[in-house]
């Protein structure tokens, strides 16, 4: 048992580091894209709404793996060759960002219309109503689905092993090929992913707790 861990844990931990980089990098990318595209989809300006809609539909409508392969293998034909890690972060961010944009949009849509009207009746500008009244109410609604998206993003980092990046799944594959200890090795790898998912979910729940504690309504 100890010997098994001594052999396998160091390379797996090295892989886990790359998995974490992908998760955090992709997550930040996704957060920014989700906020921008989610708001743009609700805009009254067509030149903002239209590109955001195309982005969301394309990246939700094609598979994450197809996107990854396209960016890695097809993009060089346009003279753009990105390293595997950058491709991974970018594709994970673009993919989760598209789903996140829908979370942002639907949360904003769920803030009652009366809140906008009350803001207008107090002569606040639309930007101020969005910023001071609507978003603070929409944010707590976004968090539970955002937690699920973070876990999905983390799971999708495994795909990046297929474009030769040595993250956790890749490391497990290498170790398996070397030692053929398939069952304990993959079981350990799955367990690491599972723990990582629980940590991420706990993190989002903490943010949720923090946000709801600092506001009156929990409805």
Q: Which is nearer to other proteins, 2 or 78 (CB)?
A: 78
Q: Tell whether residue 169 is a contact of other proteins (CB under 8 A).
A: yes
CA distance 215 to 77: 51
CA distance 15 to 177: 16
**Helix 135-156 crosses helix 84-109 at what angle (to 10 degrees)?**
150
Which residue in 5, 80, 86, 118 binds other proteins (CB under 8 A)?
A: 118
Shortest distance in whole angstroms from residue 60 CB to other proteins:
7
Q: Tell whether residue 123 is a contact of other proteins (CB under 8 A).
A: yes
How do the residues of the chain divide into helix, strand and coil, expressed in percent and rounded to 5?
85, 0, 15
Q: How many residues line the site for other proteins (CB under 8 A)?
A: 60
Where in 42-81 is the site for other proteins (CB under 8 A)?
57-58, 60-67, 69-70, 73-74, 76-78
Here the tokens at position 141 are 């609604």
CA distance 203 to 183: 30
Q: Tell whether residue 124 is a contact of other proteins (CB under 8 A).
A: yes
Q: Tell whether residue 87 is a contact of other proteins (CB under 8 A).
A: no
Q: Tell whether residue 122 is a contact of other proteins (CB under 8 A).
A: yes
Here the tokens at position 70 are 């396209």
With 0-12 / 13-18 / 19 or more C-beta atoms within 10 angstroms meaning exposed / middle / buried, residue 169 is: buried
Q: In the chain, what's the furthest Cα-to-Cα distance?
A: 71
Cα separation of the two ends of the chain: 50
Q: Return the range that interacts with other proteins (CB under 8 A); candidates 1-9, 35-43, 83-91, 211-219.
A: 211-219
Q: Which is nearer to other proteins, 39 or 162 (CB)?
A: 162
Shortest distance in whole angstroms from residue 17 CB to other proteins:
17
Tokens 């367990």 identify what position? 191
Report the interface residues with other proteins, using CB under 8 A. 57-58, 60-67, 69-70, 73-74, 76-78, 112, 114-115, 117-118, 120-125, 128, 132-133, 136-137, 151, 155-159, 161-162, 169, 172-173, 176, 182-183, 186, 189-190, 193-194, 197-198, 201, 215-219
């Amino acid at each position: 048992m100890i010997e098994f861990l001594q052999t396998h844990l160091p390379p797996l931990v090295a892989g886990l580091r790359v998995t974490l980089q992908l998760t955090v990098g992709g997550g930040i990318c996704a957060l920014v894209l989700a906020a921008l595209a989610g708001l743009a989809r609700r805009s009254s300006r067509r030149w903002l709404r239209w590109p955001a809609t195309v982005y969301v539909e394309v990246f939700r409508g094609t598979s994450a793996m197809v996107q990854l392969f396209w960016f890695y293998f097809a993009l060089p034909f346009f003279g753009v060759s990105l390293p595997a890690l950058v491709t991974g972060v970018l594709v994970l961010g673009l993919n989760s960002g598209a789903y996140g944009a829908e979370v942002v949009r639907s949360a904003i849509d769920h803030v009652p219309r009366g809140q906008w009207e009350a803001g207008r009746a107090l002569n606040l500008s639309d930007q101020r109503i969005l910023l001071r009244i609507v978003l603070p109410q929409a944010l707590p609604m976004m968090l539970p689905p955002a937690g699920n998206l973070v876990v999905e993003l983390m799971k999708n980092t495994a795909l990046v092993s297929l474009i030769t990046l040595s993250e956790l799944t890749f490391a497990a594959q290498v170790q398996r090929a070397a030692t053929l200890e398939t069952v304990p090795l993959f079981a350990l790898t799955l367990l690491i992913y599972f723990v990582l998912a629980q940590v991420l979910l706990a993190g989002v729940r903490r943010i949720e707790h923090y946000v709801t504690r600092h506001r009156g309504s929990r409805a």
